[in-house]
Amino acid sequence: MDLPRSFTIRESNHRIHNPFTDSKLATLGRAIRLRPGMTMLDLASGSGEMLCTWAREHGVTGTGVDISTAFVDAARARAVELGVDDRVTFVHGDAAAYVAATPVDVAACIGATWIGSGVAGTLDLLERDLHPGGLLLVGEPFWRTDPPDQATVEGCHVSAKEDHHDLPGLVALFGKLGWDLVEMVLADEDSWDRYVAAQWLNVRTWLDANPDDDLAGELRAELDDAPLRYARYQRPYLGWGVFALMRR
């Protein structure tokens, strides 16, 4: 059980595996009013930056679960680096199947709603681990601008326009599912650049060091295409944000 090797190569130097900068992550932690002693579960926790920095800055404790062995190892190392390894735990496993031993104050899935086959299913997964009155965090893409054609849709790595909502549609979906939207922090063009453009350098560095690897041809072709695809399609059309929800 692991992520494809191409994914971990592409994001090998990332601490945050979403279009969020350190400053936006810090803004989110302040916005949701974290307090010392609050407990957290982070499903698809990646390299653990959210849990580790919030443990240091806000005194939370918690568990992260991720399918990637490389990212779980990185998260554990980050916890030691920040001196919070006594407050956070990282588990290698299927986030969709993980159930917390006790309910938590904050349950999160940031940028991986595929674990629940979409937003609705992921909110259900998160709610089963949540204290009544607790807070859910979900990270999800949305259309910033209506995509004009199928080439734009596919340029944003989806097969159909309906795979994403626009921002009003996403907010309406939360309400339809019985959740109050109580905070949100959205990506901007700079945070998208820092996420996506950093992948290109990771791939190029890996290609230089591994020219004869079985994946070299695939990743070389990806690097030939990715920057233009991003500049033409993803950057102008695709938004992303983290949304804080409470059950009505």
Q: Please report, for the chain, the start and end positions of each structural domain, with discontinuous segments joined by +.
A: 5-144+163-189
Residue 166 above 80 pLDDT? yes
What class is the 5-144+163-189 domain?
alpha beta
Rounded to 5°, the CA angle 39-3-219 comes to: 135
- pLDDT bucket at 126, cuts 50 / 70 / 90: very high
Residue 70 above 90 pLDDT? yes
CA distances from 54 to 38, 49, 143, 185, 208 (A): 10, 8, 29, 16, 36
Q: Please tell me the pTM assigned to this model.
A: 0.96
Residue 8 above 80 pLDDT? yes
Q: What proportion of the chain, given as a percentage, has pLDDT over 90?
A: 99
Give the strand pairing for 61-66 and 238-247: unpaired
Average pLDDT over residues 96-122: 96
Q: How far apart are CA 108 and CA 20, in angstroms?
A: 15
Output the pLDDT for position 143: 98
Q: How far apart are CA 248 and CA 233, in angstroms?
A: 36
Residue 37: other Cβ atoms inside 10 A = 10
Q: List, for residues 194-234, the tens digit of each pLDDT value.
A: 999 999 999 999 999 999 999 999 999 999 999 999 999 99
- pLDDT bucket at 22, cuts 50 / 70 / 90: very high
